[in-house]
Structure 1
Amino acid sequence: MDHTTSVDQGDRRDVRQDAVYRKISKRLLLICYVFAALDRVNIGFAKLQMSEDIGISEATYGLGAGIFFLGYVLFEVPSNLILARIGTRKTLVRIMLLWGLTSSAMLFVHDTTSFLVLRFLLGVFEAGFAPGVILYLSFWYPPARLAAPTALFMLAGPISSMIGGPVSAWIMTALDGAWGLAGWHWMFLLEGIPSVLLALVVWRVLANSPAQASWLGAEEKARVARDIAAGHNPHGKQQFREVLRDPRVYGLSLSYFLLIGGMYAVIFWLPTILSDSGVESTMTIGLYSALPYAAAIIAMIVLSRRSDRLGERRLHSAVPAITAGVFMAVAAFTTDQLALAMTAIAVSTACSWGSYAVFWSMPSAYLSGTAAAGGIALINSIGLLGGFISPALLGYLKESTGSNHTGLLVLVGMLLAGGIGIAANRLPARDR
């Protein structure tokens, strides 16, 4: 009798606990990140018109696509350390206002110099947003529940790519020549403004922590605080100076560098790859480019939920990354067969995004305190150098060889090595 009563009470506690976290999840910043990620996607479509209008080469475009990450990397760690001092709301509002204005200002690009400068500044102003939100999520969720909400936030990447492709293509074709502006001018203008408007919404509704959330009751706040305290990793790092001496953190950073390199090269170059494969209509390219990201959304949801349910992180990130490399190899050798190549790219993209979503549950569980603020930003900073190097390298190889084949094989190597690196990096306690 007592045992049954105890079980019933435990079930009720679980139901109430689930209700609290569902309530929190409804407040996540998914919509804000969708517009942040658009500035990664729209540059690939702008290239279809902009390259000829302002006279930039394949290599210059690759450099400009990647230089965004150089600015991002240089200012990311300071941004996250400042966030830990002044709070999430002020930090994210500042970032969203500046990136929205700079993204819209891309319509003023008129030569190579202005293209490179604005792309660099876009990275500078957006620095800290993604790692800031990843850190912010750790204030609200214990490690055992972190993969699914992290994946929900990360869904913004493939969602923006899936929606942004057709939308960008439509703007570029429907508004081309309106008021004397080219289609790519209108695309940058219209896709930057929503981020500015959303910054005002964030300022009004965002709470820095559960304790400051007016929409949580006292019992709900206490429950979240107990769960996070219970989930504390005694083997994890607490201070940023410990992070700087930890080889595991650099192992994660290197693996993330390789994974991101493979992912972002596809994001920036997919429209060009489709165009080179014989797809002539900009609108058709936009629709085709949405398919891999629709598959990515499914993979991210399935893998993150399974990872939370089984309490395993490392292999749920490593195996999809390796699978992504295998299917990218298939795409590299079938570029003359559009249907087969697109299927392989879709599977590769889905697996790489799935790996990416689960990956961030590992450092978030391993690090806490100022170690989390600086460490997450450090891993992301080193990793995003892959976003700088791989698009530039792909552009250089395409210009040198006249095809995408060699560049795609480089991506194969990066994805395979990234997956092997994640599998080999065993963090203590809660990464498995």
Structure 2
Amino acid sequence: MTHSSSPHPERIDQHLDSAYRRTAWRVMPLLMVCFLVAYLDRVNVGFAKLQMLDDLKFSEAVYGLGAGIFFIGYLMFEVPSNIALHRYGARRWIARIMVTWGLLSAAMMFVQTPWSFYTLRFLIGVAEAGFFPGIIFYLTTWFPGHRRGVMVALFISALPISNMLGSLISGFIMQYMHGVAGFAGWQWLFVIEGLPAVALGIAVFYLLHDRIADAKWLTAEEKQGMQAAIERDNQGKQGHSIREGLLNPKIWLLGGVYFCLVMGQYIISFWMPTIIRNSGIEQPWVIGMLSAIPFTAAAVVMVLVGRSSDRHREYRWHLAICATLGAAGVLFGTLFGGNLLLGMIGLTIGAAAMVSSLPVFWSMPTAVVGGAAAAAGIALINSMGNVAGFFATIVVGWITQVTGSTQASMYMMAAVLVLGGVLGLCVPKVKAGISGLAPANPLPQQP
């Protein structure tokens, strides 16, 4: 019997472990910091609200529309932005995104009227459009499916870290910078948290690499092996054209799941400071410290959930359980919102579960389509999430103003989260990785 002299794909993959670790350490820290700053600039309006509404005489409905109109701008330009990233390269496009949104976020300090609030929030959405789905797509060009889940989890771990640090930093700025140089604390908040995005955009332009072939830390053999892994990974996917990515029924189903998950995510991000204040806490710094607790727990839990889903190569039930626990946490925190301890327990469970569902979810669409279809499909899914963000902020702001409390809207959001878990179970089963390849190590190690 004769044997092929070609090395087995599993042995090739193991041989590239060192190359993937070096790549992770070169790429992921910068992307994580960018996402941290991006998300901080997106949700810091929730903290600014504590002073902004009184200073500018804005109603809850005005705030809800202003917070939500961000997603209209994002939605309108998200798919074109991701296609542009695919065409022109991540380095240039992500740098452009970060510089423009950083400048616009800092300009929020000049808001005086509802229309200036709406206009700047809309433009920030336009500027940031495509950032998150662009990074998700960018990772598909470096890491094959059986390694990508961990990279996505590491990237998204910046979200709870951003909420945790943002709560502390925002609370400090609001309390101790108020009145400095004649500016309110909320005005300093937008400037101090907006300008770092500009610096990071410049760093991205000089430090990020568009393709495996551009990586100077890899040998020619490693580049060839990593590119071959990407090509094998794309062989089993359903189409590679933009049209196929936008019309694939699985992409639309996944978009429905993501819509429900994002509804819950933004309720926590935009209204947690208000919920904590309603329990009797007045000082912004204390509200910031308490708001950091749920996201600290989320940063730990999401790693455990990610490892479990990778180990079992199972995503649907992990997602459904996280969504259901998130709904239970929202309900518990709402029912016992008048009690600080019980309210914080509910918010912590809700935040940890909801955030942990995100890296599990994003391991699913990248296994369905590849190429330009992946760029368009991922952007479409994220666009549906932005529709949810807009809908959530508008509805909660309106219901809060009509009823005088957030309880009714929280109950509705809990039901939407449960629906997201049910829809997640309807997604056809997706296995991570390439047939015949061993799973990657769960976390990159320092070379």
* TM-score normalised according to structure 2 size: 0.91
Q: Which runs of 4+ in 1 moved over 6 A?
A: 9-12
Contact 1:314 / 1:431 at 8 angstroms: preserved in 2?
Answer: no
Mapped pair 1:22 → 2:21: yes
Contact 1:238 / 1:369 at 8 angstroms: preserved in 2?
Answer: yes
* Superposed counterparts of 1:5-84, under 5 Å: 16-26=15-25, 27-28=27-28, 29-84=31-86
Q: Which digits, 9 at most, give the CA deviation of each residue in 1:359-408, with x for residues without a partner? A: 11111111101100111001110121111111211111111111111011
Question: What is the distance in 2 between the residues matched to 1:268 and 1:382?
Answer: 18
For residue 18 of structure 1, what is the amino acid of its counterpart? D
* Residue of structure 2 in register with 1:91 after alignment: 93
Distance apart, 1:33 and its partner CA: 1.0
* Residue of structure 2 in register with 1:156 after alignment: 158
Identity of aligned residues (%): 42
Count of residues in Structure 1 that have an aligned counterpart in Structure 2: 426
Distance apart, 1:234 and its partner CA: 2.0
Q: Structure 1: state its 5+ residue gaps.
A: 1-6
Q: Output the aligned Cα RMSD.
A: 2.0
Distance apart, 1:327 and its partner CA: 2.0
Contact 2:314 / 2:431 at 8 angstroms: preserved in 1?
Answer: no
Contact 1:269 / 1:391 at 8 angstroms: preserved in 2?
Answer: no
* Superposed counterparts of 1:217-232, under 5 Å: 217-232=219-234
* Residue of structure 2 in register with 1:391 after alignment: 393
* Residue of structure 1 in register with 2:280 after alignment: 278
Distance apart, 1:431 and its partner CA: 8.9
Q: Which digits, 9 at most, give the CA deviation of each residue in 1:235-258, with x for residues without a partner? A: 523222123332221111111011
* Residue of structure 2 in register with 1:370 after alignment: 372
* Residue of structure 1 in register with 2:133 after alignment: 131
Contact 2:22 / 2:217 at 8 angstroms: preserved in 1?
Answer: no
* Residue of structure 1 in register with 2:102 after alignment: 100
Distance apart, 1:429 and its partner CA: 5.6
Q: Which digits, 9 at most, give the CA deviation of each residue in 1:68-127, with x for residues without a partner? A: 111101100000111111111111010000000001000000111111110111100000
Mapped pair 1:401 → 2:403: yes
Partner secondary structure for residue 324 of structure 1: helix
Q: Which digits, 9 at most, give the CA deviation of each residue in 1:311-336, with x for residues without a partner? A: 22222222211221122122221112
Mapped pair 1:245 → 2:252: no
Question: What is the distance in 2 between the residues matched to 1:19 and 1:292?
Answer: 35
* Superposed counterparts of 1:168-179, under 5 Å: 168-179=170-181
Residues 381-390 or 295-304, more deviating:
295-304
* Superposed counterparts of 1:392-431, under 5 Å: 392-427=394-429, 430=432
Partner secondary structure for residue 282 of structure 2: coil
Partner secondary structure for residue 215 of structure 1: coil
Contact 1:366 / 1:431 at 8 angstroms: preserved in 2?
Answer: no
Contact 1:322 / 1:420 at 8 angstroms: preserved in 2?
Answer: no
* Residue of structure 2 in register with 1:3 after alignment: none
Mapped pair 1:166 → 2:168: yes
Contact 1:293 / 1:350 at 8 angstroms: preserved in 2?
Answer: yes
For residue 411 of structure 1, what is the amino acid of its counterpart? M
Q: Structure 2: state its 5+ residue gaps.
A: 1-6, 435-447
Question: What is the distance in 2 between the residues matched to 1:431 and 1:267?
Answer: 33
Distance apart, 1:145 and its partner CA: 1.3
Question: What is the distance in 1 between the residues matched to 2:370 and 2:245?
Answer: 10
* Superposed counterparts of 1:181-260, under 5 Å: 181-260=183-262
For residue 109 of structure 2, what is the amino acid of its counterpart? L
Q: Which digits, 9 at most, give the CA deviation of each residue in 1:182-227, with x for residues without a partner? A: 1111111011111101111111111001111112221221221122
Question: What is the distance in 2 between the residues matched to 1:401 and 1:329?
Answer: 17
Q: Which digits, 9 at most, give the CA deviation of each residue in 1:131-166, with x for residues without a partner? A: 000000001111111111101111121111100111
Contact 1:145 / 1:308 at 8 angstroms: preserved in 2?
Answer: no
* Residue of structure 1 in register with 2:445 after alignment: none
1:290 to 289, 292, 302: 292
Contact 2:144 / 2:433 at 8 angstroms: preserved in 1?
Answer: no
Residues 233-242 or 99-108, more deviating:
233-242
Residues 330-339 or 235-244, more deviating:
235-244
Contact 2:140 / 2:366 at 8 angstroms: preserved in 1?
Answer: yes
For residue 155 of structure 1, what is the amino acid of its counterpart? S
Partner secondary structure for residue 216 of structure 2: coil
Partner secondary structure for residue 260 of structure 1: helix
* Residue of structure 2 in register with 1:325 after alignment: 327
* TM-score normalised according to structure 1 size: 0.95
Contact 2:257 / 2:420 at 8 angstroms: preserved in 1?
Answer: yes
Contact 1:322 / 1:415 at 8 angstroms: preserved in 2?
Answer: yes
Question: What is the distance in 2 between the residues matched to 1:370 and 1:142?
Answer: 16
Residues 340-349 or 229-238, more deviating:
229-238
* Residue of structure 1 in register with 2:357 after alignment: 355
For residue 406 of structure 2, what is the amino acid of its counterpart? N
Distance apart, 1:428 and its partner CA: 5.6
Q: 1:62 to 1:431 in 2, by over 3 A?
A: farther
Mapped pair 1:346 → 2:310: no
Distance apart, 1:303 and its partner CA: 1.7
Question: What is the distance in 2 between the residues matched to 1:235 and 1:112?
Answer: 47
Question: What is the distance in 2 between the residues matched to 1:267 and 1:277?
Answer: 17
